[in-house]
Amino acid sequence: MRLRLDLAYQGTDFAGWSRQPGLRTVQGVLEGALATLFRREGVAPRLVVAGRTDAGVHASRQVAHLDVTAAALDAVTRPRRGEAGSGAAVDPGAVLVRRLRGILGSHDADVVVRSARPAAEGFDARFSAVWRRYEYRVADASAEHDPMQRHRTVWYPRELDVDSMDVAAQTLIGLADFAAFCKPREEATTIRTLQSYRWRRSGDGALVASLQADAFCHSMVRALVGACLAVGEGRLDVGGPTELLHARERTSAFKVLPAKGLTLTEVGYPPDEELAARAQQTRARRELHVDGVVG
């Protein structure tokens, strides 16, 4: 059976999502916890994630799935002797969350499993997704530099014009080749649909970018943010990012921003009856182009 996990993590001390030998990663920590939980069942679950975030990137609403047998899930979620309510009906997902938190909590509190539940027929955390949404936080010279937010906010030394940044951001919306804003990967497509991109000031004065796309190629979000910061600082006019987009070449006209300001905030999926078709459609595209879905 397939389980859907909804996750949150602070990416500061992780070398990204993907499991890597000798490095602490979100996938490695979570799969280690799952292996501990399922060890008596001889199961080592593997996670498939909606978006493989880079080193230092955070997530407030990440989604992953794993496949386990019903027997193995029953074994690890069965009420234990002396547990309160052991005679009542058991929600396996709630029990799984509680036991994973027991394993993760004392040493790895920067990863939280928010919920676990049986996935709908045809669900695939990666291929069924129809959009990913990110936020990026920047505290410029006029914003409050709150040390409590330092792990998820980039402090910028100059004042930025958020209105011009917002105008520039909206000119980039649509289906396009985002090669100018993506780190090159051999045989990988850089064609994406940027569904929304807006800038605003939050209550603490920080500038917050919100971006949504069907998928993001490597470093795309941080490059798009960097281009708009160049507009806000006056180094590019509001039409500059669009001109760079049409040129489809990497440029030194802006800097790719650090990972620490970036958070994956939500992943969107179609209605349950469309999940399988969406996954099949996405896989077909991936077979034509070696592709990724990272921020």
**Which residue of the set 54, 108, 140, 166 is catalytic?**
54
Catalytic: 54? yes
Q: 3-state SS string over the chain? A: CEEEEEEEECHHHCCCCCCCCCCCCHHHHHHHHHHHHCHHHCCCCCCEECCCCCCCCEEEEEEEEEECCHHHHHHHHCCCCCCCCCCCCCCHHHHHHHHHHHHHCCCCCCEEEEEEEECCCCCCCCCCCCEEEEEEEEECCCCCCCHHHHHHCEECCCCCCHHHHHHHHHCCCEEEECHHHCCCCCCECCEEEEEEEEEEECCCCCEEEEEEECCCCCCHHHHHHHHHHHHHHCCCCCCHHHHHHHHCCCCCCCCCCCHHHEEEEEEECCCHHHHHHHHHHHHHHHHHCECCCCC
Residues designated as active site: 54
